[in-house]
Structure 1
Amino acid sequence: MKVVDLLPLIKYKKQNGEMGNMFTVAVCDNTTACIAKVYDAEKITSMIVDEVLIMENFYIRDGELAITVRSKVFRTGETITVPDDVMENAKSLLGQKGNADSPSKIIEAATSPKKTVVSVKGVVYKHLPSDTVDIPSDEDDSSDEDKTPTGVIIGIADLKRYRCCVNDRCYKRKLKDDRCSSCGVFYKNQSSGEAFIAQLLLKCTESATIKTYTVFTQQLEQLTTATNVSLKSKSLETDIAKKFPITVKYQSLNEKLTKIAVQK
């Protein structure tokens, strides 16, 4: 799904009465446009105009896509060609702030009966009913006999840096109020370490299933070293996305990648 344009952050009132930030974005594929309302302000950094995204765990509300903190927005590095009339329609919908009287074919596909996974021009979306946030999975657990399956990394989301303890026994534990909750060491300014966490979207070569995995500093080091990307880059998520698709041998445990070996 290509990002066409987006509106600035605005305030809105949550169900609990508190105020939050949200923004509206127009997206499209090469046939159809629609509006997405994003209720997670941090995702604005992933909504780069003209980039192609893969979205998971979104809702359909009043004829629009609703992206929440539980949703995943993966940057892919892919490109698609969009006709001028579709682009203009997307901009028009954004100008109208989403016209619920004109639902798109994408929304109709996502809400059609007996479908929880919708493919639109090669981009996969997982749609959740409005009364649940759990994604049922028909995938079997990884076979003990195959410790090194092959897959293709096609998306990255929610890349975050955080200050961590440098004590090896603390395994890069995140600091809270400048202190490690494991060993109790207090860190000042730049004396702490830096660690990472992110979500990767991986397509398994053997089964052709697409699954989301969490990765941490060690796995990102394995990935970036093999693809000549610097972990110190201020545009790390963008730099990694530009390398997609990346074929890897991998090991996983409990929805986490424990080892990544990039295949040349």
Structure 2
Amino acid sequence: MNPEQQLIIQKNYSLLTEEILADEIADHLYSKCVIGHDDLQRVHVEKTDKDKARQLLDILLYKEGAFEPFLEEIKSQRPDLIPCLTDKVKERTLKKDVKTLAELKELQGGQLLKAFQTVKVLEVSAPMSYTSEEKGVSQKLEVLIADTKDFADVLVYDLKKFSHFKVGEVVILSDFEKRLDGVLVVTKVSNVFSTKETVTVPKGVMENAKKKEDCTSVLNASLVPVQSTVSVKGKVTHASRTTTKRLRCNGEEVPFKKLKVKDSTGSLMVELWRDAAHTPAEKGSYVSIHNFTKTKSSYMNTKFQKPVLSNHSSKAKVEIIRPFAEISDDEEVMYTEDASGLLQVGRIIGIDDLSIYRCCLISTCNKKKVETDFRCPSCREEYTLDSAGYAGVMKLIIKHENEMAIFTDCIQQLLESLNLCTDLQKKDGTLEMLKAILPIVVKFSFKKDIISTITKFETC
């Protein structure tokens, strides 16, 4: 697979491991000579469907020409997954010759960049542990780079590339991703070249790179993607006492403190770990929080997890400051949650085509697409042109969560909350009405880029 195709698979890795029947796909790809007999056996020998799927995807990621045959089998097995795998790669992948970091900053985020960037490494953090569903416990590196025009933050997730990033070294980057918040991401599909080129970083660029970020509002901080780095300032309306918490990655017990910080736009929870937990911030204090990472709360029970800011970065700092505005202590529902505390809030800024297909009406079949003879491939129930159901799938761009797929029940849930017609047979009219009222502020929940609930967000 090429880097763009690898990025699509990696983006949907968790979804695919949950949904595909790897044995059938592996047999198909073996018959097409895409994978060899040894690869086939490596898939079949795994005990669970999820492990089989992981093994197959790991094999295919580095097989030349494997993407199209894989997609062909997915179309016949799970057509509902196709929208997630047929992103318009050319629109997400920039091949333009961008020569400087200043030019790079002007480009839209959320895409893979093939531009070659010759940069100097200014700062490198110690490797930091993080936990993901795909990799379990792994490590990442935070790097500050600069060239003759500007600077940028880089996150390195490929352990094999850590050795390239040393303070004072010059490297050439390509095939990296630019996130919506401007951070550059280096993964397995990225290239990092050692070079004898030299980069002289001007004093002004160096000073700007070392400066603290300007603070944004709590509202803006709540709308950035998870893992984004932000800085805010506000009034502490709640402060817990300093306790200890056990880290899930290694079992270490570290100091911990929790704050609720409010400004004129809303409030947000802040978690302070290690030395930061001893900050003497109490209710009524004004604080300035720099380079904190938007993440999820430390509760193991996902029911109680909420978006928070945490000092995961080595650059993170929290300071007590003088009051800068009159901010009340009144409690309110956090802007990124509904009253239950479980839903995100975001803006729908783009809508793709609405794909309609005929489906089975049996609830256990989950709107399975009927075959050309109007027979359900799962339960074998027979339908006619008039009796088969209608189902749909559509892609949305919710700022700032990138592209997400939305299926029949959630499409109708959204339309109903907007007081629009929920009849999916009237596809063209539905699309036009949705596009006419963009952007749409919604509260929603999701899993692996699939919307699970979504309704219009009603402001008080």
TM-score (norm 2): 0.30
Structure that is richer in strand per residue: 1
Structure that is richer in helix per residue: 2
| Bigger-Rg structure (1/2) | 2
Q: Which has the higher contact order (CA 8 A, sep 6+)?
A: 1
